Structure 1
């Protein structure tokens, strides 16, 4: 059995993938991977995800230039979640132009943006 066979993909052939920043340990984003995305990530050393909205492989940074270089891949105890330790090139992981997709915090019953926009998304995605 190969390493990919140990991953428990769901009925749609996907597994959740958490991107964690090397060094800081901050969670940058959560995405999905299919078998092909995970295999390409391992082979290339760059994060490749499955875009459910586009229904195709999404090579992180292909439009924005904000590539994730993979330092380590881990699989959880149940085999159904992948953790990528990454170096986030350009310092922006989120399509909103923020460092992390987790920029909203619950304060007094409301979600509030607490992290700044580092670059206008309209400039990133022309």
Structure 2
């Protein structure tokens, strides 16, 4: 299994669940197993927010996109972040920082003030 390179945010997972042929889904398919992961925090957001009818599709997605536990290294990264109201976003950003991976999200502005965080938006066309 390849080393993790990208951590998908909950909004990217929702894009994929809503449209299996969307740009983020196609990008995910380009990578080796293990290169695309998500945080247990994003997983919780997705599983809490989806309709029951999407549960099987979500399970299939998370069979491909490994869910990583939020551990003490991630917790310490979170403790060093500037305070803002969107705590789930901050936890997910801290998790990406602690793993040294790029965060993939459609809400890049929400993460703009986090030092050293690499962010990509896979909903935009490739240039």
Bigger relative contact order, structure 1 or 2 (CA pairs below 8 A, ≥6 apart): 2
Q: Which range, TM-score by smaller chain?
A: under 0.3
TM-score by length of 2: 0.23
Q: Decide which structure has greater helix share.
A: 2
Mark the structure with the bigger radius of gyration. 1
What TM-score, normalized to structure 1? 0.23
